[in-house]
Amino acid sequence: MTIPIFAEHVPPALTGEADLECALRKLRARHHGLLVATLGPLGALALEGDRVHHAAAYEVEATDTTGSGDVFRGGFVFGLLQGWPVDRVLRFANAAAAASCTRLGAINGAPSAEDTHRLVETGRLRQ
């Protein structure tokens, strides 16, 4: 299974569509599976079939964003392996990325599954 996870600027650059959702829908012609775009402090967006999922980012005091995209992808894969629905996978991946931003460095910044679950349960979402 291949699930492209793009930074938010990539789908518009690939398709010429300025609107991210439209760009993901245009990419649907080349990839019929799940498509995901990370939105930084705005969370993440996924296109599953014709359904769009948006998960807000968590409010954290960011110290260092190094590696947060990689941590998002790790959290995303973790959620998929749990068999969670896309909405829950996105929330968990966002929480993992947010938690990583509260620590210095890419390797030291990777949170545990427990830390990530705690942020999902108790964290504030950005409005």
> Could you list the active site residues?
70
**What are the strands, taking DSSP E only, across the chain?**
5-7, 35-38, 44-48, 51-55
As given in the structure block, the two tokens for residue 69 are 């995209």
Pairing of strands 5-7, 44-48: unpaired
CB atoms within 10 A of CB 56: 17
- Asked if residues 106 and 94 have their Cβ atoms less than 8 Å apart, the reply is no
Kindly give the interhelix angle for 68-82 and 86-100, rounded to the nearest 10 degrees: 150
Q: How many CA atoms lie within 13 A of 88 on its CB side?
A: 10
